[in-house]
Amino acid sequence: MFRQRSIQTLIRRPAGATPPPGLSAAAMLIAIIILALSGANAADDRNPFGRDPKAAKAGEYQFRINCALCHGLGAHGGGRGPDLTRPQKKHAHTDAEMFQVISNGIPGTAMPANGTNGQGVGMTDAEIWQIITYIRSQEVKAPTKATGNAGHGKELFYGDANCSLCHMIEGKGGRLGPELTAVGESRTRVAIIDSVRNPSRRLAWGLAEATKEFPQEYETVTVVTADGKEIKGVALNEDSFSVQIMDTSEQIHLLEKDKLKSFQKSRQSAMPVYGADLLNDKDLDDIVAYLSSLGAK
Amino acid sequence: MTGRGVGDLQNVKLVCKAFNRGGRGGTPRRSLRKIVGFLTICVTCLLFSSPVSAQVTFDRLVNAAKEPQNWMTYSGDYSGKRFSGLDQINTKNVHAMVAKWVYQTAATGKLETSPLAVDGILYATAQDDRAFALDARTGRPIWMYQRQLPGDIRPCCGRVNRGLAILGDKVFLGTLDAHVIALDAKTGNVVWDVAAADYRTGHSFTVAPLAVKDLIVIGISGGEYGVRGFIDAYDASTGQRKWRFYTVPGPGEPGHESWEGNSWKTGGAPAWNTGSYDPTTNQIFWPTGNPAPSNRGTGRAGDNLYSNSLLALNADMGKMNWYFQFTKHDEHDWDATQVPVMIDAGGNHLIAQADRNGFFYVIDRTTGKLISATTYGKTTWSDTKDAEGRPVANNQSSPTLAGRTVCPGALGATNFMAPTYNPQTALFYVTARDQCDIFSTAPQPYEPGHAYYGSAYFPSDEAEPYRGFLKAIDPATGQVKWQFEHASPTFSGVLSTAGGLVFSGDAEGNLIAFDAASGKPLWHFQMGGAVYAAPMAFAVDGKEYVAIAAGSAVYTFALP
């Protein structure tokens, strides 16, 4: 049974279509005015809800249901998805672009097209716009300027802090840990600091099954081969019968589990804990400033 | 062991094929005598061949165990056991098993289909309501069908389909736009097409229907949209609806009082997995899913009957004889839509169900009374049982705004993946998952055709990684006799065979053969795509095959 038609029905109606029966002329007129007004602005404002706080509230619930699994409660980013409270986003700037990204996903990333992640229900157009309104309401209007010295941060990254032994930026650095070129634009400052201070607190999450072919979780693996050789590194991939490991000297080992003397896997990160003794707050701030400057390009 | 009679007939058919081949390549100088001889043999062939392509009668379905070379219902027979009587592939030789053919469906997304095999032809389905018939020896298609779906269907959890039913000379498909259609088994042509419900209000079919007598029984999906669930039966010849059982009772019906106000109208309780059937009592056992909104109990106070229940329905009338509700007033999306498995042991007629809520239930299928309920995985929602032995929810399980960690998580301790029961080991095998989630409320108003969850779930930062298992449960005690831990949780179903084997897939793309007694993996094959389907077995020309869908393809395996 259909209830009375909602604004959502109206929005989805193609231009020039007959007005839905039961909608009064006055309401229709108001709707037309609203649509016309919003259409008069930039492409950004194709969002029929604009910055309406009521829509943002509805969008918050939709966000929790559809997005928070990866992007975290409050859109601050999770183990999988970027922080969306940053006004500057990598793949979308205007509302219309965000709508496209949510509808179609981002090929080559874990971001699925609406309704295709295999778990949960797809969103209607109106619900997507509400989510965008909600994300806009959560954006930090004046992002705290990186207080650190990016130049010094870069020196540390490639020098004394030893970050580049395992992490690569723009093709330069090590391969054992996650590539960090885009980390500044996808993670909050708090999240970056936390993963330096407590690297094991949250390893990358493997993805939901529908897309789980995707990125590695950086689990630490220690094996002893049949001839007694110990190999320690991170798992690039694994199934019940084989494991693909990168060791600390970036050698790839392709191993069959039943031929190993022992196989141990741990969610203790291979990354050392950078306490304040190893890296003081000021230097860490400089490194974060360097990572954030990459994102600002 | 294959059906000897049919095997013999197939040998005759092979002779006939050889003659046909001779005929095509023959010379014009063939003597009349030869031709007459050929014709005589071929007519004999036709006569003897006809039973091979005989119609699938109700009698054949009832006696499916007598023809283990065929797999004629979703679970292989009416009991829901997913057990194959074939033993050519067994614990001693399975190490030599090889891939025989692969059929690429060209569909993207999850394949949840469980093929049917009848007299040398495999019938299966794929995304977006594709159906196809394949030469079971070679994988070459005989026909293909794809429904023209409306652009605005919004099935809940992937554009999936779990398979067909077969009866007479037709196969039956439930579609994503909530139609039931009959296809000619020889051509794939549509014979009839009826709309069961309006897809725009969130109704869809993903389930493999069940053919019982002259009826096609099918249950609706849409628990995430606040549909009012139902199970339908259609006349297999005409498509006329014979009965409908609403899984949410209307005003005046018993059970209606278990819903607050008008919440019954959008109460959910879909019926999206295939039930089983007991011919001796003429009862259909069909499981139901979550109440709607799936994760928010506010506004629908009460037990919310018959959500998350097993229903015993009279097959002719659709009248309910009894029900058993696994999770009352569910707030965690713990559909009870697992295949109910009929087990006869020590003179008892039982049903075993490993439920999504983490408990393994054994029920008397004559009365619907609970016999035992034991956990088979990580559960935190229940510490006590009521007078009947039914697990009762504690006060730490309802979702809150701040969020509350509960195990099992939203995907459940198991889900739709088909389990198996092997009468030889007397063990029940099921794919299981240890996962806890944070459940947080997110109220939503009901709008027709819109998502209607009322809550959200997340993995906890601090939670242990999810773990996935194949578990062998002894229904007599509820104890887990052995378990195999997968590299990660999987949605693969499970098959057991008279060869002492259990087959299951994994999320990494392997099909694995286990020793049914010990759980030791004896063989595996990397298929290159995650498994969401259940394996089945069949035989052609006296050769046993195991088939399973993985990635976008259907794979078959046999001895070399």
The shortest C-alpha distance from A200 to chain B (Å) reads 10
| CB-based contact B451 A127, cutoff 8 Å | yes
**Cβ of A239 and B444 within 8 Å?**
no
Give the tens place of pLDDT for each residue, B300-340.
999 999 999 999 999 999 999 999 999 999 999 999 999 99
At B420, is the secondary structure helix, strand, or coil? strand
d(CA A237, CA B449): 40
Residue B98 structure tokens: 């090889």
Task: Tell me what the pLDDT averaged over chain A comes to.
Answer: 79
Residue B30 has pLDDT above 60, yes or no: no
Amino acid in the structure at residue A24: S
Cross-strand partners of B194: B180
Using the predicted structure, report yes or no on whether residue B12 has a pLDDT greater than 60.
no
Chains A and B form CB pairs within 8 A to the count of 106
Task: Give the SS3 label for residue B366.
Answer: coil
For residues A231 and A245, what is the distance between their CA atoms, to the nearest angstrom? 9
Using the predicted structure, report yes or no on whether residue B38 has a pLDDT greater than 50. Answer: no
Shortest distance between the Cα of A208 and any Cα of chain B, in A, equals 10
Among A66, A118, A201, the residue with its CB nearest the CB of B158 is: A118
CB spacing of B444 vs A115 below 8 angstroms: no
Instruction: Return the pLDDT at A17.
Output: 38
Q: Which of B333, B355, B434, B437 is catalytic?
A: B333
SS3 assignment for B278-301: ECCCCEEEEECCCECCCCCCCCCC
Number of H helices, E strands in chain B: 3, 38
Q: Which residue has the higher pLDDT, A118 or B47?
A: A118
Listed by start position, the domains of chain A span: 45-141, 150-200+276-295, 219-266
Chain length of chain B: 560
Q: Per this entry, what is the length of chain A?
A: 297
Q: Which residues of A touch B532 (CB under 8 A)?
A: 209
Angstrom distance (rounded) from CA B502 to CA A291: 51
Token code pair at residue B148 = 């023209």
The pLDDT of residue A6:
32
Superfamily of domain A45-141: Cytochrome c-like domain (1.10.760.10)
Fold annotation for A150-200+276-295: Cytochrome Bc1 Complex; Chain D, domain 2 (1.10.760)
Q: Sort strands B391-393 and B83-84 into parallel, antiparallel or unpaired.
A: unpaired
pLDDT of amino acid A214: 46
More confidently predicted of A50 and B169: B169
Give CA–CA dist A225/A246, Å, rounded: 15
CA distance B123 to A31: 51
**CB B489 to CB A209 under 8 A?**
yes
Can you give the pLDDT at residue A185? 77
What is residue B463's predicted lDDT score, i.e. its pLDDT?
Answer: 63
Q: CA nearest A88: which of A12, A13, A185, A216?
A: A185
ipTM above 0.90, yes or no: no
Average pLDDT over residues B294-304: 93
CA distance B78 to B76: 7
The answer to whether B18 touches B10, Cβ cutoff 8 Å, is no
Best of A121, A190, A194 to disrupt the B interface (most B CBs within 10 Å) is: A121
Of A68, A123, A209, the CB nearest to B456: A68
Per-residue burial over B467-489, b = 16 or more CB atoms within 10 Å of its CB, e = otherwise: bbbbbbbebeebebbbbbebbbb
Between B29 and B232, where is the model more confident? B232
Three-state SS for A197? helix
Q: Report how far residue B215's alpha carbon sits from residue B343's, in angstroms, rounded to the nearest whole number.
A: 24
Residue B247 near residue B314, CB atoms below 8 Å: no
According to DSSP, residue A289 is labeled H
Q: Is 50 exceeded by the pLDDT of residue A229?
A: yes
Fold of A219-266: SH3 type barrels. (2.30.30)
Identify how many contiguous H helices and E strands chain A contains and give both numbers: 10, 7
Q: Reduce the DSSP state of residue A279 to 3 states and report it.
A: coil
Q: Which residue carries 């005589």 as its tokens?
A: B40
User: What residues are paired with B469 via a beta bridge?
Assistant: B432, B485
User: Residue A266's pLDDT is what?
Assistant: 87
Residue B518, Cβ density class (10 Å: 0-12 exposed, 13-18 middle, ≥19 buried): middle
pLDDT, mean of residues B2-22: 36
pLDDT top residue among A110 and B183: B183
Q: Mark yes or no for CB contact B490/A209 under 8 Å.
A: yes
pLDDT at B403: 87
pLDDT digits (tens, 9 = 90+) for B115-126: 999 999 999 999
Residues of A in contact with B455 (CB under 8 A): 65
The confidence score (pLDDT) of residue A189 equals 82
Nearest to B508 among A6, A69, A239 (CB): A239
Q: What is the pLDDT of residue A212?
A: 47
CA A284 to chain centre: 22
Closest CB from B443, B459, B486 relative to A61: B443
Strand, coil or helix: B470 = strand
Residue A239 to residue B154, Cβ atoms within 8 A: no
Q: Please say if the pLDDT value at position B263 is more than 60.
A: yes
Q: Which residue in the set A61, A62, A241 is minimally distant from B524, CB to CB?
A: A241
Contact A277, A284 (CB under 8 A): no
Taking a C-beta distance cutoff of 8 angstroms, is the pair B164, B122 a contact? no
Contact between chains at B442 and A209 (C-beta distance less than 8 A) = no
Distance CA A292, CA A147 (A): 11
Q: Over 90: is that where the pLDDT of A230 sits?
A: yes
User: B507 CA to chain A: closest CA distance, Å?
Assistant: 7
Among A91-95, A140-144, B276-280, B403-407, name the one with the lowest average pLDDT.
A140-144
Residue B528: how many CB atoms within 10 A of its CB? 15
Nearest residue to B390 via CA among B413, B362, B367 = B362
Residue of chain B with shortest Cα separation from A242: B487
Nearest alpha carbon to residue B206 among B276, B70, B285, B114: B114
Contact B154 A79 (CB under 8 A): no
Burial of A102 (C-beta count, 10 Å sphere; 0-12/13-18/19+): buried
Residue B53 pLDDT exceeds 90: no
At residue B33, the pLDDT reads 53
The alpha carbon of residue B445 is apart from the nearest alpha carbon of chain A, in Å, by 10
Q: What is the mean pLDDT of residues A78-97?
A: 82
Lowest mean pLDDT among A74-83, A230-239, B140-149: A74-83
Q: How far is CA B486 from CA A111, B235, B355, in A?
A: 26, 43, 20
pLDDT at B320: 98
Q: CB A209 to CB B487 under 8 A?
A: no
Would you state the pLDDT for residue B10? 38
Measure the CA–CA gap between B6 and A232, rounded to whole angstroms: 57
When pLDDT is cut at 50, 70 and 90, the band that residue A3 belongs to is very low
Question: What value does the mean pLDDT take over residues B381-385?
Answer: 96
Task: Give the pLDDT of residue A293.
Answer: 87
d(CA B357, CA A4) in angstroms, rounded, equals: 37
Peptide bond into B408 cis (omega under 30): yes
Location of structure tokens 């889900």: B415
pLDDT of residue A27: 53
Look up residue A238 and give its two tokens: 């694994």
- A45-141 and A150-200+276-295 share one fold: yes
- Between B360 and B435, whose confidence is greater? B360
Q: What is the mean pLDDT of residues B80-90?
A: 98
Burial (0-12, 13-18, 19+ Cβ within 10 Å), B244:
middle
pTM for this structure?
0.85
Whether the pLDDT of residue B368 is over 60: the answer is yes
| Residues of chain B contacting residue A213, judged by C-beta atoms under 8 Å apart | 530
How high does pLDDT run on average in chain B? 90
Confidence of residue A215 (pLDDT cuts 50, 70, 90): low
Whether omega for the bond prior to residue B293 falls within 30 degrees of 0, making it cis, is yes
The Cα–Cα gap between A120 and B232 comes to 25
Helix (H, G, I), strand (E, B) or coil at B316: coil
Residue B330 annotated in active site: no
Beta bridge partners of B495: B503
Q: How far apart are CA B409 and CA A211, in angstroms?
A: 19
User: How high is the pLDDT of residue A26?
Assistant: 53
